[in-house]
Amino acid sequence: MEYNHYNIKNDFPILLREVRPGTRLVYLDSTATAQKPRVVIDAMSQYYELNNANIHRGIHQLAEEATEMYELAREKIAQFIHAHNTKEVIFTRNTTESINLVVQTWGRKFLQAGDLVILTEMEHHSNLVPWQMLAAEKNIQLEFIPVRENGELDFNHFDQLLEKNPKFVAFTHMSNVLGTINPAKEMIQKAHAAGALVLVDGAQSVPHFSVDVQDLDADFYAFSAHKMCGPTGVGILYGKEKLLDSMPPFLGGGDMIKKVLLRSFKENDIPHKFEAGTPAIAEAIGFGKAVDYLTQIGMDNIAAHEKKITQYALQKLKSIENLKIFCPDVPDRGGVISFEMGLIHPHDVAQVLDHYGIAVRAGHHCAMPLHEKFGLPATSRASFYLYNDFEDVDLLVIGLQHVNELFA
């Protein structure tokens, strides 16, 4: 279909509001969380109005309707990422929980003292801290692929690390700070050749371009609904069926069991083995509707649109005095631009922009080690999505000019 960002913007109620009289919202913080289209909001409201019931347990009509809607969402998500089957799609709360699930089940069962896990210096804290916790507990070794000055990973160093017989490799598909899109398929092939399993943090990739987990041959792939026009509180862990079958349950409780005795239990089959307790039913249904929405627009169309907006923004930002883009030379990047403005603190930048209705992020973006590597306590970050347009960029540029004027 033809990409019309004006029509798309009208699909999002929040983007039509004025944050103050005469000042419309310019939302440039989609890397933190994306806005929700009306179809997602309506789908969740309809569930609560007409179908609200717990799933998998009841035989009355509402329970059967809710179960069908929940499992239909799983089917849509499996198709969206090209999973082999729905058993490989686990509902979690978010990307963070998905990664923790792998660390605390596969990692705790199969990693031994001295085993090597390879990460990167550009990881979000969610793909650092869980491994650090396990390393402290089990004395496993963590090594890191360095980030080069241009924002790319040092693949020569990665090759050297692979010679040390790692058991596991975990990395982000796209950096939430640099916008760098890592060559996931090539990295997975190399890791597998070295005998390691691979987890990919797809929080910033699945919302923005087409991802095929079978083509990538990813062992595990994690992402969240709220970054791809869906609700908060629900995410996905994709895992190869054989691996998921080999892993112990993550949480104990209802729905993850087949039988319970006073002193023992028998675990359920996947995917239910990893979905203890009442899940986020309405959120899963909203997630499914978000997948429908993105599919209708087309992920290739979204990726192409974001590339145009990002290139336009990179060019326009060159006119701003005192502004330095964080690693501007990345050849293959997503719609994320982090920057600094001399001695002006990023929080001040964000506050001034907010006065003009422009929402950006300021801070270390849950990537403190990456900022420390480049000697920066924090940066400002503008991020773009399917509903942003050139006018949004122009208003950002005007807002940044006001920042310089105010702090001159």
Return the active site residues: 366
C-alpha distance from residue 100 to each of 59, 116, 236, 339 (Å): 33, 18, 12, 30
Residue 303 half-sphere exposure toward CB, CA atoms < 13 A: 16
Q: Are 297 and 303 in contact (CB under 8 A)?
A: no
Strands across the sheet with 89-92, in order? Answer: 89-92, 235-239, 220-224, 197-201, 168-172, 116-120, 141-145
- Among positive and negative, which fits the CA dihedral 217, 219, 225, 227? negative
Q: CA-to-CA distance for 21 and 121, rounded, in angstroms?
A: 43
Residue 20: closest CA among 389, 406, 356, 394:
356
- Among positive and negative, which fits the CA dihedral 244, 245, 248, 252? positive
Structure tokens at 400: 């940044």
Q: Are 78 and 88 in contact (CB under 8 A)?
A: yes
Q: Are 36 and 231 in contact (CB under 8 A)?
A: yes
Q: CA-to-CA distance for 65 and 401, rounded, in angstroms?
A: 54
Structure tokens at 242: 């054989």
